[in-house]
Amino acid sequence: MKKTTNPTRRDFCKNTALLAGGMLALPLDITASAHVLGDDTIKIALVGCGGRGTGAAMQALSTKENVKLVAMADAFQDRLDDCYKILATKFAGSDKLMVKEEDKYVGFEAYKSAIDKADVVLLTTTPGFRPIHFEYAVSQNKHVFMEKPMATDAPGIRRVLAAAEVAKSKKLNVVVGLQRRYQDSYLACLQQIRDGKIGQIVSGQVYWNSAGVWVNERQPGQTEMEYQMRNWYYFNWLCGDHIVEQHIHNIDVANWFIGEYPVHAQGMGGREVRTDKKFGEIFDHHFVEFTYPSGAVIASQCRHQPGCVDNVSESFQGTGGKIYTDSQNKGIISGYDGKILYEHMGENDPNPYQTEHDVLFANIREGKVTNDAEHAAKTTMTAILGRMATYSGQLISFDDALNRGKSLMPETYSWDAMPRVVPDADGHYPVAVPGVTQVLET
């Protein structure tokens, strides 16, 4: 990555868009629109063939545009094969799946060959690789759909932000899988906020509390690199901890509704239930207070502990009322007297996962541009800031987190390469200790 001047939070907090990505009606560069001029086929490459990648490919191929999947890439052959079988069954009898055997690529460098084949790339690998893949896709003038989060450390965020500026200059579409920004209930509530229905937001609570996710046990013969990549959710260079990988959705709603990004954060967290070595190095709970330039304070909770109260939602309090939202298409605004001021109960609302792709491919056909990369990178940085606060037990500023946050990524990528975090003789990984762990470069 080229060396750049250190950016500040204020530099990155300009012009928060009202709607998803801030759609711009701009003509595409010739390099970004070859498929529009003449042949209307939009060629897609899938980079990352796990569960989310398979789902994203299905959604891309389910749009009404003339799209075809022409290339696939993954670090693992079995994941690529499983994904292809699922897609072949789903789209049997259609011409949507046009991947030749020679266009199935495996390995750490496979992404380049797949990206080179396509007009649009779906970047759905584990998050640690996102900055590398996004940077290459933009350099090759490709439109992009990519899953959240955008990176797992501050150097990765700086890399994404630099590539986002290049994408903007090239008028490339970049849609990011923060799907609440494409969800009718959230968009409707945001409009109510912009219309002054609850006044200025002064506080809020955002939650992703659940029992946790899958575990892939260590298998005989695996190198440390393969084990960590197979069990990627539990290693920060790949996942970022669940505050970054999962809770980012709720944190993004706070940033979006408030229209700002935090000045600083402080919090607490640890491992209380999921303490076995198979859970790698991540915490099983985080609590963070994010303080914004306007003075608003958001309390952020995420938990991976079975048998506890589940809650995936957002609540905000304004000077004139309060709002509740959740992923089940519910949005309720009420006054402090209990009177309902607005209610959205969209049982039949469209699936926002599908809407993301509908918008992306319609834009390409119509010559419009949506670029989610900048706000998604800022929100990812907000979640990373939260992790840094809970791991260290310190008050961390957004600027320090962005400019002085440590790199988590390995020196090299190969099956024999060693990640930065490795187990001790008993197989246990080092876990952050608040008050002791240092998260900033000195």
Quote the tokens at residue 386: 């939260």
Contact by Cβ (8 Å): 142, 115: yes
Q: What is the pLDDT of residue 14?
A: 39
Q: Which residues make Cβ contacts (< 8 Å) with residue 175, sequence separation at least 6?
A: 21, 144, 145, 146, 356, 357, 359, 360, 370, 372
Q: What is the pLDDT of residue 21?
A: 38
What ranges do the domains of the chain cover? Answer: 9-181+353-372, 184-345+381-404
Q: Which residues make Cβ contacts (< 8 Å) with residue 412, sequence separation at least 6?
A: none
Q: What's the one-letter identity of residue 59?
A: Q
CATH class of domain segment(s) 184-345+381-404: alpha beta
Contact by Cβ (8 Å): 175, 167: no
Q: What is the pLDDT of residue 26?
A: 43
Q: What is the pLDDT of residue 318?
A: 98
CA 44 to mean position of chain CA atoms: 20
Contact by Cβ (8 Å): 150, 380: yes
Q: What is the pLDDT of residue 349?
A: 97
At 192 the three-state DSSP class reads helix
Over pLDDT 70: what percentage of the chain?
91
Decide which of 3.40.50.1370, 3.30.360.10, 3.20.20.150, 3.40.50.720 is the CATH code for 9-181+353-372: 3.40.50.720
User: Which residues of the chain fall below pLDDT 70?
Assistant: 1-38
Tally Cβ neighbours within 10 Å of residue 338.
Answer: 6
Q: What is the pLDDT of residue 39?
A: 74
The secondary structure of 101-165 as a DSSP string is GGGEEESTTHHHHHHHT-SEEEE-S-GGGHHHHHHHHHHTT-EEEEPSPS-SSHHHHHHHHHHHH
Q: What is the pLDDT of residue 250?
A: 98
Nearest C-alpha neighbor of 250 from the set 309, 180, 317: 180
Q: Which residues make Cβ contacts (< 8 Å) with residue 169, sequence separation at least 6?
A: none
The secondary structure of 53-71 as a DSSP string is HHHHHHHHHTSSS-EEEEE
C-alpha–C-alpha distance, residues 65 and 120, integer Å: 13
C-alpha–C-alpha distance, residues 244 and 391, integer Å: 13
Q: What is the pLDDT of residue 24?
A: 40
Distances (CA, A) of 440 to 266, 332, 406, 409, 432: 14, 40, 6, 15, 13
Distances (CA, A) of 206 to 251, 287, 313, 323: 7, 10, 6, 12
Count of residues in the chain: 442
Nearest C-alpha neighbor of 284 from the set 234, 327, 229: 234
